[in-house]
């Protein structure tokens, strides 16, 4: 008991120490961002109190949070459930934030509970960010200076941001800009130019808080300054498309190129040059049409399969009001690199039709994609947003597609000096770029599978029907065979019965008559002999006695023969009755036994009790006939010789391995060791019958105590219909 108490107090002490340490940690407030950044993420997750001051550098456009910097360190401040008015603050505001620490994503952050505005100051001085610092984990939430060239932009309305790509001496950086009317208005001015601006250096991370990339945050383009472009060789060069970025060219120089417009959108123009084609990004929609010859001025940016053009200026050279010829293409073993950005025509087979949406699943930006097969290649054909699937486009159709070809390099082979082209996809201009050459064949894959499935199902049903029919025919055949067998057996039995009746029974009856006549002759002979002896004067008494003894001797022999013949005649009549279709043909075994035994019992004035144990079952007819004869013989013997009051027959079906029958009477009994009298063959016949059934017969009896006959037959050969 003392040991348990000691352990309990030790546990309470440790628990109190833990809670005390937690409370001590919570009670020690964080007063600077340097202290906050020094916390491990696990301790920051305990929610220690925070009260810090700093300057706002960037506010989330949806008021989800802001970046705060105190001149030494920076941190991200979260707005739990959007309770606080973060939209009231902007870059340059100096504020006090009170709340608790949080684990954060890459570094500890603050869950704000209260914000107090202090004053507005000019933005603090930032430090330069260099390309070699891109993967530095020491830079996070810092205020930095970036220099480079914006080379692409993409507006994401659902998040109220504009994603910019900045080229810093060949290093590509992602910049997140707040989407506002002011920023949209100034964006074309700063695109494709060498610029300088301040930004918050953020960090991309995974679930374990590990560094995965770099992202910069800018609130406004107002602070972006355009640097002076490097001086070139003098006059701007006019370079054919196929000569851009060749050996000796400076990608920072402004150049001009020219070609024929094959397709134009609000942000892109595709040109066909003398030998190759080009994709040019433009700042705003240009007044050009397909077929026009134009001149572009701007910068060249390298891409895996060729240069891309960043156009600052679009100049119309010649307007041609005629369609541009498409280049027919048949894809062979290899795809030629000169097809990149070319307007081509390609015959394909439509495999599937898919749709894609934006990040939020907005159906207004739904885009239809046709998945096709051209030779060994799978080709995607992408329709512009808003173009829907046409009714005649059916899977399996042969289509002729016209569109801008975009080649794709196998990702695993980007290390090669000349990239291996893996496949391509087509940028369709509209739905008219899809022409149906041949409708899908009737034998489509779906129909073939459906027909094959149906045929398989019907085959299985047919096989099942054949099996069922075969079993039915076999069952009917067995029934017919059994019926024919029964009819044959019945006819044969009737024939034998007729033969027995016409021959044996009649013969036995004749023998009885002859023997009875013989007895009368003996009696008459005795009378004549007595009369003769009286005439001869012999001693009449002695002679009469001798004559009577001799007559009685003959008479007893004749009587034995009569009994034997009578017994045989009775057996023959019984056999004839059974052969001609007796009781077992019309009723079950128990009913047949009751109808057979009842007259025998009533003749001697006794009562019959038949009991059944277990569930009765039909046996072979030959077995039932033999058992019925055994019962008849046993009950007949008891009725004739034992003078019983009650005869009890018990049929025991409880065991599936054997059948037991008990015949019990309360008559006079007999000594089982005494041999049977001459002319009595009942017990011998019963033993012969039970032997034929491979059964066992046991007789228990004592003089004055009745008799019990036990019959036991094995299950083998008992069950059946035959």
Identify the domain boundary among 581, 596, 623: 581
* 665 or 486, which is more confident: 665
Q: Would you state the pLDDT for residue 488? A: 79
Q: Would you state the pLDDT for residue 410? A: 72
> Residue 181 belongs to a domain with what CATH number?
2.40.50.140
Give the DSSP letter of residue 375: T
Q: Would you state the pLDDT for residue 129? A: 95
Assign 3-state DSSP to the chain and report helix, strand, coil percentages, each to 5: 35, 35, 30
**Percentage of the chain with pLDDT > 90?**
42
Instruction: Give CA separation, 428 vs 340, 373, 400, 433, in Å.
Output: 14, 16, 12, 6
Identify the domain boundary among 266, 286, 318: 318
Average pLDDT over residues 49-55: 95
Q: What average pLDDT is seen over the chain?
A: 83
Task: Answer whether residue 372 shows pLDDT above 50.
Answer: yes
CB 522 within 8 A of CB 555: yes
- Residue whose tokens read 């240009």: 286
Please check whether residues 107 and 204 belong to one and the same domain.
no
Q: Would you state the pLDDT for residue 26? A: 47
Please check whether residues 373 and 480 belong to one and the same domain.
no
User: Cα 669 vs. chain centroid, distance in angstroms?
Assistant: 77
Provide the number of structural domains found in the chain: 6
Instruction: Give the model confidence (pLDDT) of 3-23 as tens digits.
Output: 555 565 565 556 554 444 444
Burial class (CB in 10 A: 0-12, 13-18, 19+), 710: middle
User: Is 208 in a helix, a strand, or coil?
Assistant: coil
Helices 589-603 and 621-641, packing angle to 10 deg: 20
- Could you tell me if residue 39 is inside a domain? yes
- Cα 353 from Cα 233, distance rounded (Å): 52
User: Is 10 in a helix, a strand, or coil?
Assistant: helix
Task: Answer whether residue 131 shows pLDDT above 60.
Answer: yes
Tell me which residue range forms the domain holding 620.
Answer: 586-722
Three-class secondary structure assignment of 268-309: EEEEECCCCEEEEEECCCCCCCCCCEEEEEEEEEEECCEEEE
- Cα 495 from Cα 580, distance rounded (Å): 9
- Cα 612 from Cα 650, distance rounded (Å): 6
pTM of the model: 0.56
User: Cα 501 vs. chain centroid, distance in angstroms?
Assistant: 76
> Residue 646 belongs to a domain with what CATH number?
3.30.565.10
Please check whether residues 615 and 518 belong to one and the same domain.
no
Instruction: Give CA separation, 455 vs 442, 449, 452, in Å.
Output: 17, 10, 5
Instruction: Give CA separation, 306 vs 170, 275, 408, 418, 532, in Å.
Output: 16, 13, 12, 10, 162
Identify the domain boundary among 184, 206, 226: 226
Instruction: Give the model confidence (pLDDT) of 70-87 as tens digits.
Output: 999 999 999 988 889 998
C-alpha atoms less than 13 angstroms from C-alpha of 277 in its C-beta half-sphere: 24
Average pLDDT over residues 291-308: 89
* 271 or 334, which is more confident: 271
Average pLDDT over residues 367-371: 92
Q: Would you state the pLDDT for residue 25? A: 44
Instruction: Give the model confidence (pLDDT) of 403-446 as tens digits.
Output: 999 998 876 555 554 557 888 999 999 999 999 999 988 777 77
- Could you tell me if residue 231 is inside a domain? no
- Could you tell me if residue 232 is inside a domain? no
C-alpha atoms less than 13 angstroms from C-alpha of 303 in its C-beta half-sphere: 20
Please check whether residues 500 and 562 belong to one and the same domain.
yes
CB 400 within 8 A of CB 345: yes
Task: Answer whether residue 679 shows pLDDT above 70.
Answer: no
Task: Answer whether residue 575 shows pLDDT above 70.
Answer: no
> Residue 74 belongs to a domain with what CATH number?
2.40.50.200
Instruction: Measure CA of the first residue to CA of the last residue in the chain; give whole Å.
Output: 84
The structure tokens listed for 499 are: 């033969």
User: Is 709 in a helix, a strand, or coil?
Assistant: strand
Please check whether residues 627 and 653 belong to one and the same domain.
yes
The structure tokens listed for 136 are: 């530095």
Average pLDDT over residues 679-687: 67
Q: Would you state the pLDDT for residue 235? A: 63
Give the DSSP letter of residue 596: H
Please check whether residues 592 and 718 belong to one and the same domain.
yes
Q: Would you state the pLDDT for residue 18? A: 47
Please check whether residues 565 and 468 belong to one and the same domain.
yes
Most confident range, picked from 310-324, 575-589, 613-627: 310-324
Most confident range, picked from 250-254, 590-594, 714-718: 590-594
Instruction: Give the model confidence (pLDDT) of 449-501 as tens digits.
Output: 888 899 999 999 999 999 999 999 998 888 888 788 777 777 776 777 666 66
Burial class (CB in 10 A: 0-12, 13-18, 19+), 244: buried
């Amino acid at each position: 008991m003392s040991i348990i108490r000691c352990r309990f107090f030790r546990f309470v002490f440790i628990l109190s120490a833990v809670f005390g340490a937690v409370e001590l940690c919570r009670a020690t407030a964080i007063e600077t961002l340097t202290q906050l950044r020094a916390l491990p993420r696990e301790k920051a997750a305990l929610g220690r109190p925070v009260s810090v001051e700093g300057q706002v550098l960037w506010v989330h456009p949806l008021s989800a949070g802001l970046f705060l910097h105190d001149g030494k360190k920076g941190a991200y401040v979260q707005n739990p459930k959007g309770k606080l008015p973060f939209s009231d603050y902007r870059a340059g505001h100096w504020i006090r934030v009170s709340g608790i620490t949080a684990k954060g994503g890459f570094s500890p952050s603050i869950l704000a509970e209260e914000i107090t505005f202090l004053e507005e100051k000019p933005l603090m001085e930032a430090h330069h960010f260099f390309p070699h610092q891109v993967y530095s984990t020491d830079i996070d939430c810092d205020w930095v200076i970036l220099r480079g060239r914006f080379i692409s932009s993409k507006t994401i309305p659902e998040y109220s941001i504009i994603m910019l790509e900045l080229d810093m001496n060949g290093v590509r950086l992602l910049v997140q800009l707040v989407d506002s009317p002011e920023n949209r208005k100034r964006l074309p001015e700063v695109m494709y130019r060498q610029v300088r601006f301040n930004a918050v250096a953020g960090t991309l991370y995974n679930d374990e808080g590990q560094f995965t990339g770099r992202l910069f945050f800018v609130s406004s383009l107002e602070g972006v300054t355009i640097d002076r472009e490097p001086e070139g060789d003098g006059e701007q060069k006019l370079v054919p498309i196929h000569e851009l970025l060749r050996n000796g060219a400076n990608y920072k120089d402004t150049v001009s190129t020219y070609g024929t417009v094959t397709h134009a959108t609000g942000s892109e123009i595709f040109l066909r040059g003398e030998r190759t084609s080009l994709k040019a990004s433009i700042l705003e929609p240009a007044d050009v049409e397909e077929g026009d010859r134009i001149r572009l001025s701007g910068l060249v940016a390298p891409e895996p399969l060729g240069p891309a053009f960043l156009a600052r200026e679009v100049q119309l050279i010649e307007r041609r009001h005629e369609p541009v010829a498409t280049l027919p293409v048949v894809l062979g073993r290899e795809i030629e690199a000169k097809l990149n950005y070319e307007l081509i025509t390609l015959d394909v087979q439509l495999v599937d039709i898919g749709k894609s949406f934006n990040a939020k699943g907005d159906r207004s930006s739904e885009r239809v994609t046709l998945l096709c097969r051209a030779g060994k290649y799978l080709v995607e054909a992408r329709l512009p947003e808003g173009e829907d699937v046409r009714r005649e486009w059916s899977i399996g159709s042969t289509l002729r597609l016209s569109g801008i070809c975009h080649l794709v390099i196998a990702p695993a082979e980007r290390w090669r000096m000349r990239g291996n082209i893996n496949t391509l996809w087509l940028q369709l201009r509209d739905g008219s770029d899809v022409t149906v050459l041949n409708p899908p064949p009737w034998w489509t894959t779906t129909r073939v599978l459906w027909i094959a499935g149906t045929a398989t199902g019907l085959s299985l049903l047919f096989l099942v029907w054949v099996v069922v029919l075969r079993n039915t025919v076999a069952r009917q055949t067995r029934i017919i065979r059994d019926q024919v067998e029964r009819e044959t057996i019945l006819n044969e039995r009737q024939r034998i019965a007729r033969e027995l009746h016409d021959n044996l029974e009649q013969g036995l009856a004749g023998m009885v008559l002859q023997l009875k006549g013989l007895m009368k002759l003996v009696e008459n002979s005795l009378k004549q002999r007595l009369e003769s002896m009286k005439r001869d004067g012999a001693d009449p008494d002695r002679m009469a006695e001798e004559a009577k003894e001799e007559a009685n001797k003959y008479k007893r022999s004749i009587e034995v023969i009569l009994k034997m013949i009578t017994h045989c005649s009775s057996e023959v009549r019984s056999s004839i009755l059974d052969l001609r279709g007796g009781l077992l043909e019309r009723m079950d075994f128990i009913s047949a036994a009751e109808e057979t035994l009842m007259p025998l019992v009533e003749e001697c004035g006794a009562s019959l009790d038949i009991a059944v144990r277990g569930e009765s079952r039909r046996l072979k007819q030959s077995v039932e006939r033999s058992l019925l004869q055994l019962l008849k013989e046993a009950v007949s013997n008891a009725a004739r010789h034992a003078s019983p009051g009650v005869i009890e027959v018990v049929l025991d079906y409880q065991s599936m391995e054997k059948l037991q029958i008990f015949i019990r009477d309360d008559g006079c009994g007999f000594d089982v060791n005494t041999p049977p009298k001459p002319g009595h063959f009942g017990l011998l016949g019963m033993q012969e019958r039970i032997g034929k059934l491979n059964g066992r017969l046991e007789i228990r009896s004592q003089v004055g105590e009745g008799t019990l006959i036990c019959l036991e037959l094995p299950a083998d050969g008992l069950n059946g219909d035959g």
